[in-house]
Amino acid sequence: MSAAPAVYVVDDDPGSRRATGHLLRAAGFGVHLHDGGAALLAALPADAAGCVVMDLDMPGMDGLAVQAALAEAGQRMPVVFLTGRGDIPSSVRAMRAGAEDFLEKTASPDLLLAAVRRALARDAEARAGRAGQAAARARLARLSAREQEVLAQLVQGVRNKQIAGALGIGERTVKLHRSAITAKLQVRSLAELLDLVRLADAPPPGAFPKGN
């Protein structure tokens, strides 16, 4: 794999596709050109990294349909849409569906480069976030069933005595479980523990950052 971040260009118009490719290559990105959604989906590795620059108005499968198909296939790369028509209804739908950006085909190349950089940054960030979450979940998975029950009460701010009552165990036992949790998760304070749980429980970042 090359070090340059990958940009997948999807455009049915050869002139437009090649121009976008030239620009992105000259700006130092690793460019992959595809003439339609089907070609893109067939070529992508699982959970590909990078971003997609895609024509909105393509015959057959249009940009919005390709975007939906990408999500379906578990591809979470941000999408920058280009359009030659710029009609409002499709742009609204695209943004709703989580498009990173929406540009006119005649827009300044600087804008396109900026949008691509933003999209790549977001992808990297989301990817890092997803990696952190996976690690947090793996740490939590090391706890025993009883310890997880205790943790669930703790996160909600329940006191030891009440936890003991709720679980039908002694207060001392609760304290033992607490220190075992702290040791297994390698956290130094309650605040750190809460952050870890929140990270693991959060919805996976990157796929629909703005939709909610």
Partner 1 sequence: MDWVTFVWASMAATCLTLALVQFLVWYRDRAAQASLWFAVAAVAVAAIAAGELRLMRSATPAEFGLVQRWTHVPVGVALVALAWFVHQYLGTGRRWLLWTLTAGRGLVLGLNFASPTSVNFQAVTELRGYPLLGQLVSVPVGEPSPWAGVAAASSVLVAVFVTDAAVAAWRRASGRDRERAVLLGAAVVAAILLPTANGLLVHLGFWSAPYFIAVAFMAVVLAMAYELSRDLLQVASLARDLRTSQARLDLAGRAANVGLFTWDVGADRLWATAEGQRLLGLAGPGPFALGDVLATIDAQDRPGFEALLGDVRAGGGDFSCQYRVAGAGAGTVTFWRGVRGQAERGPGGGVQLVRGVVLDITERRRAECEREALREELVHAGRVTMLGQLVATLTHDLSQPLGAIRRNAEAAGLLLGAPATDPGELREIVADIRRDGARAAAVVTRLRALMLRRPMQAREIDVTALVAEVMALLQSEADRRRVRLEAVVPAGLPALRGDPVHLQQVLVNLVMNAFDALEGRADRRVTVAVGEQGGEVELAVLDTGPGVPDWLAERVFEPFFTTRPDGMGMGLAICRTLVDAHGGRIRVDRSVDGGAAIRVVLPVAMPS
Where on the chain is the footprint of partner 1 (CB under 8 A)?
Answer: 13, 15-16, 18-20, 22-23, 25-27, 57, 59, 82, 84-87, 104-110, 112
Q: Tell me the two tokens of residue 115.
A: 């949008």
- The residue (of 54 and 185) whose beta carbon lies closer to partner 1 is 54
Instruction: Return contacts of 38-45, CB within 8 angstroms, 24+ apart.
Output: 39/10, 40/8, 40/10, 40/66, 40/70, 41/66, 41/69, 41/70, 41/73, 44/8, 44/73, 44/75
Q: Least distance to partner 1 from the beta carbon of 96, Å? A: 21
How far apart (Å, rounded) are the C-alpha atoms in residues 106 and 58? 17
Q: Tell me the two tokens of residue 79.
A: 């999408």
- The residue (of 22 and 198) whose beta carbon lies closer to partner 1 is 22
- The residue (of 14 and 170) whose beta carbon lies closer to partner 1 is 14
Reduced to 3 states, what is the DSSP secondary structure of residue 96?
helix
Q: Least distance to partner 1 from the beta carbon of 22, Å? A: 4
Q: Least distance to partner 1 from the beta carbon of 14, Å? A: 9
- The residue (of 51 and 199) whose beta carbon lies closer to partner 1 is 51
Q: Least distance to partner 1 from the beta carbon of 74, Å? A: 28
- What torsion do the CA atoms of 36, 42, 47, 49 make, to the nearest 10 degrees? -50
How far apart (Å, rounded) are the C-alpha atoms in residues 89 and 120? 26
Per the DSSP assignment, residues forming a β-bridge with 80 are 53, 101
- The residue (of 17 and 177) whose beta carbon lies closer to partner 1 is 17
For Cα atoms 131, 208, 200, give the angle at the middle one, nearest 5 degrees. 35
Burial code (b: 16+ CB inside 10 Å, e: under 16) for 101-130 equals bbbebeeeeeebbebbeebbebbeebeebb
Q: Least distance to partner 1 from the beta carbon of 52, Å? A: 16
- The residue (of 109 and 204) whose beta carbon lies closer to partner 1 is 109
Q: Least distance to partner 1 from the beta carbon of 55, Å? A: 9
